[in-house]
Structure 1
């Protein structure tokens, strides 16, 4: 295994292809003519067997054979006895094909650059918690992802074996286009490094997005959205955009979809540890706050209403993700409730974030991201934040312009 670790997948693919070809060639030069009788080299198949044995072609109209009739395979018959009826040409050809297919499959091995089938790491200690200063598991047994609570190499191995397709959608409407370049270039550097990622930019100004001199290599697709009357309408409309694009596009192209805001700049790696069926991020301004201080929508008239005695955590709407079906369910439900509120002349307390928190209360996330993943430098450096993976909120204009 140590010898193989320096071999690239191209080397192994080429060598396997050559071995398959050589095996086929050698078998084609097998000294016995007309049969492959390894078990009994003196036994030569009968002329009747060489000419087809008991295979009989049945013409449909007297001239064109369409179906082949043959005896039922015997499950108790040894494979070697079955193979003796194959000509050397058949075996040579089949060996060549198998060698070629093996080389092709290895060339598609998900890990690029080496064949490292095993990941070496220290044995986990069941008596030692990875973190003792923070909660790492919700009451409904969903992991809370903090620095020091996961092994990136183990998670990356599983990710590469499954070759998940990940989409990152970001809204860039109005003046927020000014933030797009910095966002995408930071994502290029830190988001899912080594993963199959595609960017989706929802914007009301496609030409301005195209004019940006973006230093990115991953594919990007621009999604045209209507111009919104103000910032509140834009953030409320993102749920509808994601829902619609999931129906039209995402379900065909992606396994996971991450939804982030443009005023985020990534500072440190954000990797496969965030992937989950449905994932929410803890708001950095409220993760230590008691329930009574959380900015839920408390008015019963709103579809985002959460009673005073309910609420787990307060999630931020500028970073959530999940599998495509679960993101569709989330955005569909939130959009429907936003539309109901709008029809009744109601605007939830914190726009679409209020509806997101209502949804997560009754549809628990399967994984929760710690505030590391949506941190703001304006909040300082508390002891439980071991790493700041992003800085959000810095923009050269007011959000309502």
Structure 2
């Protein structure tokens, strides 16, 4: 069944039309006028705020300068800190959504081959093909999103070094969350793997997305896990860590086709394609495992873009699905590892009692917990409106078992 692609029509010496594409899900503009370097930032801001899209026909660097000037104008009206962290968070999200909508109306036209016919424009064809797929005619895209595509292409080319993989590089694709916050990867790399009876064993890792508080239960003997499942694999980084730790077989799954392609690419680069199978889009595959690892998005909320899906989990759906499915997917004596930031608790979006209640309701118990502090720059930025919550944030690996 073919999917209808929205078309935008406008007049520019003659009637023209182009496909519409927005990674943020913005609707096609109802009103569009052509603009170039002669337009003033104040005029552009007024038109964009009123809902009129501007198709840029001037200098490429002039478009970037206009976008920066518009960003500064909008940021002058950023919300002040609210009495509570939760309200500050919600105000900030509403403001960022408004900001993205306004800036998302400054458009550029990709030619039928994905090139950009603007003065001093870079060659964007490879980056656009990676993000959007093969070209299929002229396409209108928000300039702000195109700049994100170009930035993501550089990440993909250079890769992100991962200390837990002996500084081997993971290459994130556009729309796939990059493992730049390495603390959750280190938790998985350092936690003691469950041991199983000789000749059996499956480990499941759900999600790409301290001090050990306990040791293996007394009497646990056998061999390390033989097979791993990685669900919500993203870039495949946790699947790679499990494979490098000696898990003989990993099956990695993800809802997103982009993530699955990304994981295959990375696992192939690391020489692990013969030990890791990538599948999807189910959360849990059939069968049981000795180990299930899940790093769900840590903030309850609706994602505004594909990349946001690595951060926002509507209603905590993935978290609760992981917990609910764990008892029927663990082998007797197996463990589930939940890697979760407590930022939502500090923001008033979820309580620790709610988390523990969900674990108990699923028929699970906590064996131990390992904590670590985030090291990203925002955790130490006193100018961030959410600084107090970010400074108190802890990322934990919860070792769970069936009661």
| TM-score, normalised by the number of residues in structure 1 | 0.25
Greater Cα radius of gyration, structure 1 or 2: 1
| TM-score, normalised by the number of residues in structure 2 | 0.25
Of Structure 1 and Structure 2, which has the larger fraction of its residues in strand?
2
